[in-house]
Amino acid sequence: MRKDSDTMKTGLEQLLKEQREYFAQGKTKELPLRLAVLKALKRTVQKYEKEIGQALQKDLGKSATETYMCETGMVLSELSHMIRHLHRYAKEQRVRTPLAQFHARSFTSPEPYGVVLVMAPWNYPFMLAMEPLIGAVAAGNCVVVKPSAYAPATADVIERIVGECFLPQAVSVVKGGREENTALLAQRFDFIFFTGSTTVGRLVMEKAAEHLTPVCLELGGKSPCIVDATANIPLAAKRIVFGKYLNLGQTCVAPDYVFVQEEVKDALLSEIERCIRRQFTQKPLENPDYGRIVSQKHYDRLRGLMEGVTIYTGGACRAETLQIEPTVLTDVTPESPVMREEIFGPLLPVLTYRSLSEVTQYVTAHEKPLALYLFTESRQTQREILKACSFGGGCINDTVIHLATSQMGFGGVGASGIGSYHGKQSFELFSHRRSIVKKSVWMDLPVRYQPYDRWKQRVLRIFLR
């Protein structure tokens, strides 16, 4: 085992050496080459669409529709956006030059970091590996992609796609589990992009700090969903059920719990139960489009969170397939175990409130969530929530869809993450933007040079105020 570890370490060191040498040649900085490989990547993803679907079905039981909606389609959309806009993103951006620097031209210029590491999670194993890769390649970096060991079939497909599109010294895939993760984090990268739990995110940041490596951490947290008495209850229920039970709740931005105004609690619960049956059938565990929990460990953890609270609907489990019905929990208190950790499964605790201040006090007393969802027709309520609560992103009168666009960045705040990506934000994330002043040589104002006198002071006060 020790020999294998040494061999792996040596192999990773050699891989990074080759990538650094390739990056130093400047080929990844050539815009035509970047566009060419992004177009090749798009064609290859389309070519492997069937294999991607089969892999996600094997790893997580995902249906063909959900696979395209949440994984393959989103990757293709991001590729199309980046191909369309890369010329504009990569341009120098001219900025105003202060009068004190007359005569000069000021501009910012993006440059890639170098060799970057992308560490992907298991819940959306294809999309959350490929979308950061797209941004890193578009910005001109060399990349090491580390897929999740909990989705091995998807990791194999990612490896094949990357192998067809890139030279290994430009982009490589490193498969494996904890040992490979540890070995990778021991290397010196120029940037690290990590998606996963807050606990592991802290470890990634700690390892990155040894080399002062910048990071983007896409983490999670307990994302609240607030429903007030003015909300369209049937529509709210339908959209909550979609967002919560997508991928069996194994979504970092899934509504983690619902705060519903007391007078509409019964109506909301009734509609949620009806929507569950309509979307997943009367017997969800027999629905071929209903997936599974990723592992026995997570299945057992979720079963434990169901204890001590009232199951309003759902609750059936199937151990042999690692499945749990879409479940709604009531008689939940802030002290209940299900409210103390991110659920990451098909369990929806429902709490009630009377005044909005109860909700804002609860949310602000805890770590900042990755997402927040608000169902209301009251503009005053919208203003109060947006003013009082800090969160990564969210929706008003919907759930989860805010991340399904290349027009806005997606990321967390505080304990839910550092940094933002998607579209232009991805290009900027994987780039260092240099600030440059190009000074003319035909004029040189003497104000800044010694000896200083009162005349120079007066001129400086005109320039700098």
Q: What is the DSSP string of 396-462?
A: ESSSSGGGS-SSS-EE--GGGEE-EESTHHHHHHTEEEEEEEEE-SS---GGGSSSP-HHHHHHHHH
**In this structure, what token pair is assigned to residue 23?**
């990056």
The catalytic position among 142, 252, 275, 389 is: 252
Other C-beta atoms closer than 10 Å to the C-beta of 431 total 22
**What does each C-alpha distance from 369 to 154, 332, 411 come to in angstroms?**
28, 19, 10
Question: Any residues with CB less than 8 A from the CB of 391 and at least 6 apart, and which?
Answer: 223, 368, 369, 370, 371, 372, 413, 416
275 a catalytic residue: no
Helix (H) or strand (E) holding 352: strand 347-353
| CA 41, chain centre distance (Å) | 21
Q: DSSP H helical segments within 102-151, as ranges?
A: 127-138
DSSP code, position 185: H
Q: Rounded to an integer, what distance in angstroms lies between the CA atom of residue 67 and that of residue 44?
A: 16
β-pairing verdict for 371-375 and 347-353: unpaired
The catalytic position among 218, 271, 325, 367 is: 218
Q: Coil, helix or strand for 169?
A: coil
**In this structure, what token pair is assigned to residue 285?**
């565990």
Q: What is the DSSP string of 96-157?
A: PPPGGG-SEEEEEEEEE-SEEEEE--SSSTTHHHHHHHHHHHHTT-EEEEE--TT-HHHHHH
Other C-beta atoms closer than 10 Å to the C-beta of 309 total 20
51 a catalytic residue: no
Q: Coil, helix or strand for 253?
A: coil
Q: What is the DSSP string of 195-217?
A: ES-HHHHHHHHHHHHTTT--EEE
**In this structure, what token pair is assigned to residue 228?**
């007030």
* Residues known to be catalytic: 218, 252
